Amino acid sequence: MAVTDYVLRPVREAEFEPWARMIADTYGADRSETAIADQRAATDLDRTLGAFDGDVPVGGASIYRRTLTVPGARLPVAGVASVAVTPTHRRRGINTAMMRRQLHDLHEQGREPVAVLRPAEAAIYGRYGYGPATVGDRIRCERRELVFHRDVDFGDGTVHLVDRSTALPVITRVYDRTRATAVGWPDRDPCHWTVRLSREHAAAGTTSSRFALHREPGGEVTGYAMYRHRSGQEARTVVLEELVATTRQAHAALWRFVAGIDLATWIEHEIALDDPLRHLLVNPRAVESSAVDRLWVRLVDVDRALAARRYATAVDTVLDVEDAFCPWNTGRFRLCGDGATVSCERTGDAAELRLTTTELGAVFLGGTTLNSLAAAGRVEELKAGALTRVSAAFRHDREPFYPGGWAFPLY
């Protein structure tokens, strides 16, 4: 069958449960009635696509409207999630049709200028114009090896364990204060927090979440750690889901707390590439790590997207952009910005750089550099000196980091 033999349309209310179970099954997950209900509460059916073979859902993809912190701004984005095609209907163009429908709808309706996703398979989404914009540092530490420098400033605050009901209203405020300036962090709605903190959605073999709050002497909460225990045949592991702090002292104090959890042998977590943890330790090699791409960015409309963020240095350049999947983006754009105002408009002027929307997505959050992409042959410099100048403008002073989850952190 060709993709035209399937109907691609928004999912109807009566179809949601079989659609959601199809998505879960494709990801190798089970979903209880409670989990399905939680997912439905977080889902906008008008932005949830299903591919149907007769009455049977065989593919799907959702969009959650989110606000993402980008360099110098907070930007509405289309958070793409629950993308799946059943094993019986693979290699028939269904995923491509869903991705095209999403992006064309966003463009034609003038909705979010940027789409973002965290792909289960990294090899798929470059063909649709997405580029890897954040990298997570997955770490594993032997707990007893986390010895801190004697002069680390842990502040005067204290760490307290609290239950879920006490933690929820407090950690959401800490998260929101942190994400205001943390590039790559999305906002989270109540549905997200309900699911993220639920035992129902815990990974197999782990406990429910534990919560530790860092309080200043005056009572203000300036950080939290959220973690689970996982027991193995030989060792117990603390799976640190989140460690969020608004001060460097709270960050250090929470890591000291985690390093002091008795009976645990290992600690697992994911941090930003420039997280200060290693600088706190006598032996930075105690932190074993591996890098993994996380948030991929797709510029739906190049002009609107590039004008929505701010730049590290003044920029005035012309980009020759190629976009085979969304041809309305193909052409030359003049990008001008002075730190306070930015414009991006079509032009007939000579271009300084040539690249595709995949590369623009990769550099959009200020982590990946145009220089590194050019070294891989992915960006062409058309005017001498332009590459270094424009690459510096796109950079951000901290590495972007994606802490996980849209409205519904399913998998």
Alpha-carbon distances, residue 178 vs 173, 174, 251 (angstroms): 9, 6, 12
* Helix residue ranges per DSSP H, 120-276: 164-179, 190-196, 248-259
Q: What is the DSSP string of 140-176?
A: EEEGGG--B-TT----S-EEEEE-HHHHHHHHHHHHH
93 is in an annotated binding site: yes
Sign of CA dihedral 126, 16, 67, 326: positive
CA distance 392 to 411: 36
283 is in an annotated binding site: no
CA distance 276 to 272: 9
What angle (nearest 5°) sits at the alpha carbon of residue 290, between those of residues 289 and 294?
125
Which residues are registered as beta bridge partners of 216? Answer: none
Q: 87 near 267, Cβ under 8 Å?
A: no
At residue 236, φ and ψ (nearest 5 deg) are -100, 140
Which residues are registered as beta bridge partners of 312? Answer: none
Q: Which of 23, 17, 19, 61 is nearest to 36 (CA)?
A: 17
3-state secondary structure of 94: helix
Q: Which of 325, 283, 38, 338 is nearest to 144 (CA)?
A: 283
95 is in an annotated binding site: yes
3-state secondary structure of 229: strand
227 classed as catalytic:
no
3-state secondary structure of 187: coil
313 is in an annotated binding site: no
224 classed as catalytic:
no
Q: Which residue in the list 6, 64, 125, 128 is annotated as catalytic?
A: 125
CA distance 33 to 39: 10
Q: Name every residue whose Cβ is closer than 8 Å to that of residue 318 and which is 6 or more positions away in sequence.
A: 332, 333, 334, 335, 347, 349, 350, 351, 352, 353
84 is in an annotated binding site: yes
Q: Which residue in the list 27, 175, 311, 411 is annotated as catalytic?
A: 411
115 is in an annotated binding site: no
CA distance 125 to 130: 6
Alpha-carbon distances, residue 405 vs 97, 271, 278, 293, 386 (angstroms): 24, 15, 26, 15, 37
For the packed helices 16-26 and 33-42, what is the interaxial angle rounded to 10 degrees?
110
CA distance 93 to 1: 10
334 is in an annotated binding site: no
3-state secondary structure of 130: coil
User: Per the annotation, where are the binding residues for acetyl-CoA?
Assistant: 83-85, 91-96
- The residues assigned a catalytic role are 125, 411
User: Per the annotation, where are the binding residues?
Assistant: 83-85, 91-96
